[in-house]
Amino acid sequence: MRVLLVEDDLRFATALTAALRRSGYEVDHAPTASAAFAAAPCDLVLLDLGLPDANGIDVCRRLRERSDVAIIMLTARGEERDRVIGLRCGADDYVVKPFGYPELQARVEAVLRRARPRPAGACTIGRLCVDLDRHQAFVDGAPVVLTRKEFHLLAILAQQPQMAVRRERLLAEVWQTSWQGTSRTLDVHVATLRAKIGDAAQIQTIRGVGYRIVGDEGVLAGDG
């Protein structure tokens, strides 16, 4: 699991990076907001609110607009109002400094458990491999960069290849909602997945039902 630590206090960042690496995480450190936006994709962002080049709340909003990555805010601002603002702008959790590393580790584990589908091996459809244990997808052996929700959506389809999966189920499991107003978001995510996996496998639209994923052997004339 890859963690991006966005923190301008070098001494604090060095100590926390070392602790996270001892726990088995890959860690990238970004001392500024601009460095965070330029960083490689990750599974979790630990975000300090007091950055030299941007307000941490604005950084959180921008990260959330471009990705479904898990975000935990790390800050000395412990007032209830600050916590509410942080959570409402897209953070998954809010940890007030100073904190003990065991507490932070427990919160990281909890957020990542909620963010990831349950591990269940790997599924191969055509030239696409979806590794559910490693939370990665591969086309011809090359990794495909996916957001958390894109992977969750792909994982559900991949576990039932050539079977139609209803829109209602996808909305419930990926977005935890039955509200049909989210339906357009589902369509956008499917379109993005199609672009990312190319012709390695096909995600087909089943009108009035939902979607299914097939390999080359399952392509049927007339399916979109």
Q: Quick one: how far is CA 145 from the chain centroid?
A: 10
Domain containing 155: what range? Answer: 122-218
- 84 and 110 belong to one structural domain: yes
User: Rounded distance, CA 180 to CA 141, Å?
Assistant: 36
Q: Please compute the mean of the pLDDT values over residues 135-146 and round it to a whole number.
A: 92
Cα angle, residue 41 at apex, residues 20 and 139 outer, rounded to 5° = 120
Query: pLDDT band at 221, cuts 50/70/90?
Result: very low
pLDDT of residue 178: 55
Domain endpoint, select from 82, 97, 115: 115
pLDDT at 66: 80
User: Within a domain: residue 224?
Assistant: no
The count of domains in the chain is: 2
Amino acid 15: pLDDT: 96
Average pLDDT, the chain: 86
Q: What is the CA radius of gyration of the chain?
A: 19
What confidence tens digit (pLDDT) does each residue in 152-203 have?
999 999 988 888 888 888 887 888 765 555 678 899 999 999 999 999 999 9
